[in-house]
Amino acid sequence: MTVIRKSLSTDMLPRGLNERQRFLRFAELFEHFSNTGELDPASDVPFSAAMNSIHIGTTMLGRCDGTFTTVRRELRQVLQTNDDRYCLARHTGERISTFVHRGREFTLRPGAMVLLKLDEPFFAADGTNHKRFTNVHLPMPTLRAMVPGVETLVGRELKPGGALSLAMDYSNLLLQHPEAVEEAGMAIATHLLDLAALGLGARGDVADDAQRGGLRAVRLKAVLTILEQRFAEPDFSAQKLAASAGLSERYVNELLYEAGASFTIRLNELRCARPPTCWRIAKAASATSPSSAASTIFPISTAASAAVSG
């Protein structure tokens, strides 16, 4: 799984710029750095900001510290990024912050967390000229599969403590020691997802499996759910399934194989449950190799083929 580390700071700006020029230059760099939102600078203190992030597949850990009055995600960023991930953020400032998300206004106390959806705008302000926050972006299909009813938790204060706070503490530690992520990227991403799912209230078999340590079973359920939702996409692949789940392609293939069937077999079985789709697969296979069309849709062992031909 690809691991990408990024950092951005006002210390990187050219010398000799005035305050307005510094902010405008930083805002331009920030759009390329993340394009997650927009920052409004404080007018009563010199502008300064420092950010760093770690991207592990579709999971992202980030931290920001700067002299801003508000943080906003506008419709422009929503449309440009086409990002449907969940954003779990912790307010690490010293005053109560006001949030607006999904048309609802609510407050966030210092240390509390909030779950946001990146395909919708949001706004945050706490009346101070300094902002500090940590956030983790999590793949939507996997989290939704692991936490039934997770949508009801979006846009409200989540009290500190338990697995959610542990997930954020873990993220902060990794951001301070990014070299550790290079050594165990996938394991870290899946561990963060497991902690977030438990903290958000994973219930039933998912919670039981996670608490007993059966995390492979939890991830398999999530992978199968995504596969069942997206199998009809013409270009759907194991790589896309892994990216959507926030896991490595190798790990996804291992999960499916251990559960009794490979990605290709499961995909064809799901598609063949819909006759029109099955015919499209057969047509594509015959166009490539007419003699192999039947075996593509209905695999037959070599021995069985010989017996039939004999």
CATH of the domain at 117: 2.60.120.10
Let me know if residue 267 belongs to a domain: no
In a domain, 284, yes or no: no
Residue 33 included in any domain:
yes
Q: Does residue 204 lie in a domain region?
A: yes
* 173 part of a folded domain: yes
Three-state DSSP class for residue 281: helix
pLDDT at position 301: 37
Query: What are the helix (H) ranges across 111-184?
Result: 140-146, 162-176, 179-183
Residue 281 lies in a domain: no
What is the rounded distance in angstroms from the CA atom of residue 74 to the CA atom of residue 60?
A: 20
Q: Is residue 293 part of a domain?
A: no
What is the residue-level pLDDT of the chain in tens, covering all 310 positions? 578 999 999 999 999 999 999 999 999 999 888 878 888 999 899 999 999 999 988 899 999 999 999 999 999 999 999 899 999 999 988 889 999 999 999 999 999 999 999 999 999 998 889 888 899 999 988 888 888 789 999 999 998 888 899 899 999 988 988 887 887 777 788 888 888 988 888 544 555 555 554 567 767 877 888 888 888 898 999 988 888 887 788 888 888 887 878 888 888 888 887 655 454 554 454 454 444 444 443 343 333 333 333 4
Domain that holds residue 75: 3-212
Burial (0-12, 13-18, 19+ Cβ within 10 Å), 139: buried
Residue 96 lies in a domain: yes
Alpha carbons 172 and 61: distance in angstroms, whole number: 8
The two tokens of residue 177 are 């020691």
Neighbouring CB atoms inside 10 A of 274's CB total 12
Number of domains in the chain: 1
CA dist 160 and 294 (Å) reads 57
Q: Which two tokens stand for residue 6?
A: 């990024």
Q: Give CA–CA dist 71/251, Å, rounded.
A: 36
Q: What is the pTM of this model?
A: 0.71
